[in-house]
Amino acid sequence: MADRSPYDIAKETLKQLSLRKLIPSPDNYQALFHEVAGTRHVVNFPEEALRGIGRVLPGQTPAQQRLLAQFDTAVTQRSWVGVQAALVGLATQPLVATPAHIQDKTAISEDLMAELREQIARLVENILPMVGADDPRLQQQAEQLMHYARQPAAEAATLKLMLGNLSFRLSFASEDQLAIKSTLLALLHLLFTNIGELAVDDRWLKGQIDALVSASTPPLTLRRLDDVQARLKDVIFKQSEAKARAMEAQDEMKQMLAAFIDRLSTMTEHSGSYQGTIEHCARQLESAETLADITPVLQEAIQATRSMSIDTLHMRDELREMRERTEQADAALRRMQEELDRASSQARHDPLTGALNRKGLDETLKREIARARRQDTPMCVALLDLDNFKKLNDTLGHDTGDAALLHLVQVARSAIRPQDSLARYGGEEFLVVLPDTDQDKGVEVMKRLQRELTKKYFLKDNEKVLITFSAGVAQVGAEEDTAEAIKRADQAMYLAKRSGKNRVVAA
């Protein structure tokens, strides 16, 4: 190629442009000319254009001025690597100049930055025990932040982002802790108020004390405190009724006792009068000499005895009546005690299965929907109905049907999370409230419960009886009433029944 003339090289270059169908631009011609000639192709360096760019780049701070000098040197040396390094350095510098009198104060050394990261990690570590361990995501974010902050190469921008996310999560946790504290104080106030209203029977305290001990056992949750508060309100209302009725019975017994004492006093007076009359008749009989003297004395003794007998019969009847009234009052008090005990232990729960009743369900739905909308988290309701329950009752008896319902509740409690709630909706229907759960996860929870029922058999006379259910799952809409969501879940449940039973259908 070296002995070819420039004319031949130019001719061959034009030929290659035509063959390769390239645009006959100066750049394409120059590249092909060097290719044909076998020489090195050096791209033109836009020195003047780059110097024009350098004249408008910021150069207010010492660091910017130093990078501008590097840029000019790179342009002079026609070094693309140097130009790139200078431009990258300028891009990371602040656009606004820092006043000279505060530059030294705002500069952060590496040692100071390391100490600041360690202090942030310690702060998060000390805050965590105060907000509890109820939120796994909060725990995870905090641990990630502490781990990253203690890394030598931790970047300030990333650390700032992680700290902002954790702070946002902490705001919800601190809100819950404040609500827990307020509710606990309200519970204590209710308890102290209730103690002053209690009757003498200390057994009335048992239901409340058990509930309070259970609620105050770690981990402390707002949901458990709400349950206890509602139960205490029910018990206080029942106790106020029982106290009023007990006071009425007590007043009635006091009146009967006062009447009995008065009657005894009257009887004592009559007895003394009778005794005096008999003694008087005895003295007259001793001095009597004829039958005529004895006759009036006998008449007086007979009259006194008859009067005493009549008074005794009246006293006996009155005492019998008082005893019957006392027994009735005692029976009424026992009934009030039994009613109070039931109110204390079963105010919000179904007596057969121990699941929430309709009242407890209403309170749970109200609380959970408020929490979901406050924290902008999903919430689902699942309505399940036992398959062929009527056939089970008819074949094996109602006692077996009740035992099957209890078995379902026990298995369900082992399959759902502690924050989920289970309520008996009616007959063989149950409603599961699933906070912080979208529809797909809700369907999976119900399917997991179905699998658990196939593993944990219900036994009747040591024989396995398979229990299945059909369920509908609905996610509560942002503006939807819970009753509407339950209605959609009910429709989905009936669709599952019609589709062959033992199925879960999303509403």
In a domain, 301, yes or no: yes
Q: Does 375 or 212 have the greater pLDDT score?
A: 375
- The strands making up 379-386's β-sheet, listed across from edge to edge, are 421-426, 429-435, 379-386, 469-475, 504-506
In a domain, 352, yes or no: no
The residue among 315, 346, 377 that closes a domain is 346
Report the 10 Å Cβ neighbour count for 259. Answer: 13
Same domain, 298 and 322: yes
For residue 359, the model assigns a pLDDT of: 83
In a domain, 96, yes or no: no
For residue 157, the model assigns a pLDDT of: 79
Same domain, 162 and 223: no
In a domain, 227, yes or no: yes
- Model confidence band, residue 448 (pLDDT cutoffs 50, 70, 90): very high
* 24 upstream amide cis, omega within 30 of 0: no
For residue 337, the model assigns a pLDDT of: 67
Same domain, 63 and 77: yes
**Distance in Å from the first CA to the final CA of the chain:** 80
The least confident of 24-28, 38-42, 283-287, 421-425 is: 38-42
Same domain, 211 and 201: yes
pLDDT at residue 129 tops 60 = yes
Same domain, 225 and 250: no
For residue 105, the model assigns a pLDDT of: 44
Same domain, 220 and 249: no
pLDDT at residue 408 tops 90 = yes
Query: What is the Cα Rg of the chain in Å?
Result: 48
The least confident of 161-165, 223-227, 271-275, 278-282 is: 223-227
Q: Does 87 or 323 have the greater pLDDT score?
A: 87
**How many domains in the chain?**
5
For residue 108, the model assigns a pLDDT of: 60
Q: What is the pLDDT of residues 278-328, one digit of tens each?
A: 777 777 767 766 666 677 766 776 777 777 777 777 777 777 777 777 777
Q: What value does the mean pLDDT take over residues 131-156?
A: 81
CA dihedral 154, 160, 162, 167 (to 10 degrees): 140
In a domain, 473, yes or no: yes
In a domain, 198, yes or no: yes
pLDDT at residue 442 tops 90 = yes
Same domain, 118 and 47: no
User: Identity (one letter) of the amino acid at 408?
Assistant: L
Distance of CA 81 to the CA centre of its chain: 60
pLDDT at residue 1 tops 50 = no
- Model confidence band, residue 209 (pLDDT cutoffs 50, 70, 90): low
Q: What value does the mean pLDDT take over residues 1-30?
A: 78
In a domain, 463, yes or no: yes
The residue among 64, 91, 118 that closes a domain is 91
User: Identity (one letter) of the amino acid at 19?
Assistant: L
Q: What value does the mean pLDDT take over residues 447-476?
A: 90
Same domain, 21 and 71: yes
Q: What value does the mean pLDDT take over residues 443-458?
A: 92
Mean pLDDT of the chain: 78
For residue 432, the model assigns a pLDDT of: 97
- Model confidence band, residue 106 (pLDDT cutoffs 50, 70, 90): very low
In a domain, 40, yes or no: yes
Same domain, 278 and 235: no
User: Identity (one letter) of the amino acid at 157?
Assistant: A
Q: What value does the mean pLDDT take over residues 132-138?
A: 76
- Model confidence band, residue 485 (pLDDT cutoffs 50, 70, 90): very high
Same domain, 165 and 217: no
Same domain, 362 and 457: yes
Range of the domain at 55: 6-91
pLDDT at residue 99 tops 60 = no
The residue among 137, 154, 176 that closes a domain is 176
Q: What value does the mean pLDDT take over residues 17-31?
A: 79
Tell me which residue of 180, 175, 173, 183 sits closest to 135, measured CA to CA: 173
Return the bridge partners of 384, or none: 430, 471
3-state secondary structure 280-300: HHHHHHHHCCCHHHHHHHHHH
Q: Does 207 or 495 have the greater pLDDT score?
A: 495
pLDDT at residue 101 tops 50 = no
Tell me which residue of 136, 129, 124 sits closest to 164, measured CA to CA: 124
For residue 104, the model assigns a pLDDT of: 45
pLDDT at residue 386 tops 90 = yes
For residue 100, the model assigns a pLDDT of: 47
Which is it for strands 421-426 and 463-465: parallel, antiparallel or unpaired? unpaired
Q: Does 431 or 204 have the greater pLDDT score?
A: 431
pLDDT at residue 125 tops 80 = yes
Asked if 227 contacts 235 with a C-beta cutoff of 8 angstroms, the reply is no
Q: What value does the mean pLDDT take over residues 226-241?
A: 68
3-state secondary structure of 364: helix
CA distance 489 to 477: 13
For residue 103, the model assigns a pLDDT of: 45
Q: What value does the mean pLDDT take over residues 77-87?
A: 79
For residue 216, the model assigns a pLDDT of: 60
Answering whether pTM is above 0.75, one says: no
Q: What is the pLDDT of residues 267-280, one digit of tens each?
A: 566 666 767 777 77
Q: What is the DSSP letter of 216?
A: T
Q: What is the pLDDT of residues 327-378, one digit of tens each?
A: 777 777 677 766 666 655 556 788 788 898 888 899 899 999 999 999 899 9
Same domain, 375 and 395: yes
